Amino acid sequence: MRRRPLPLVLAGLLTVLLAYPIAALIGGALPTNRGWQAPEQGVTLFIESNGIHTGLVLPKVAAGVDWRPIFPATDLRDPRYGAYDHVSIGWGDRDFYLNTPTWADLKLSTVTAAALGSSRTMLHVDHLPHPAADGSVRRLVVRPAEYRRLAAYVRASLADGGERRHGYFGYDAFYEARGRYSALRTCNGWVGDALRFAGIRIGAWTPLPLTVMWWFPRHK
């Protein structure tokens, strides 16, 4: 079997690495649910980002949705945090979540394995007080029906009867999830998919945090 010369292999890898962010920016800029506009009144939620990962910050009780029995305080290392009125929910690769409690623990092998694809995924849920909108947290108002659709998407991502684990701190926990993680469907892509399913205006493909956050301007 004839082997490809190493320079051609490296050139191919470089092309993929360069094409990915370009494709991500294009996909993130193509709007879906074009006619959607935020209502003046409705359910207030938040989109958060740490620069790499985005998540949904949702009120525990709103529009007929109650997250308290789904993500109970008893799942926390310190159940007192269950008194907070919001949950932050993110989705991602199981090994990445469990083996990277801090960015100092990040390993190239973990990133590579997640990018290539994993069917073992988890929801990471933090119990939080009402957040303040700032550069890393964007406020979003949606209609009650839109919030219920968003909640239904999140709920469908949870594996019923699956693994539950304490999180990094006293106020967070991990839950076994459904779905396959890869470079094509990242944690940020999951957030975009959830918002798109709810009928909210968002990019067609949102694998990067930037491609999620730029749809929701800062509120002064």
Residues 129, 110: Cα–Cα separation, whole Å: 31
CB environment 71-109: b (16+ within 10 A), e (fewer): bebebbeeeebbebebbbbbbbbbbbbbebeeeeeeeee
The Cβ of residue 144 has, within 10 Å, a number of other Cβ atoms equal to 15
Cα 91 to chain centroid distance, Å, stands at 5
Query: What pLDDT, on a 0 to 100 scale, did the predictor assign at position 218?
Result: 80
Residues 137-192: pLDDT tens digits?
A: 999 999 999 999 999 999 999 999 999 999 999 999 999 999 999 999 999 999 99
Please check the confidence at residue 220 and state whether its pLDDT lies above 70: no
Please check the confidence at residue 20 and state whether its pLDDT lies above 50: yes
Whose tokens are 């092309």? That residue is: 15
Residues 83, 182: Cα–Cα separation, whole Å: 35
* One-letter amino acid for residue 216 of the chain: F
Query: What pLDDT, on a 0 to 100 scale, did the predictor assign at position 5?
Result: 59
Q: Report the mean per-residue pLDDT for the chain.
A: 91
**24 exposure class (CB count in 10 Å sphere: 0-12, 13-18, 19+):** buried
The predicted model scores a pTM of 0.90
Residues 167, 65: Cα–Cα separation, whole Å: 24
Residues 90-129: pLDDT tens digits?
A: 999 999 999 887 777 767 777 788 888 889 999 999 999 9
How distant, in Å, are the alpha carbons of 23, 73, 101, 106, 213 from that of 98?
Answer: 29, 20, 7, 11, 25
Query: What pLDDT, on a 0 to 100 scale, did the predictor assign at position 196?
Result: 98
Query: Which backbone phi and psi does 46 adopt, to 5 degrees?
Result: -140, 150
What's the whole-number mean pLDDT along residues 203-219? 94
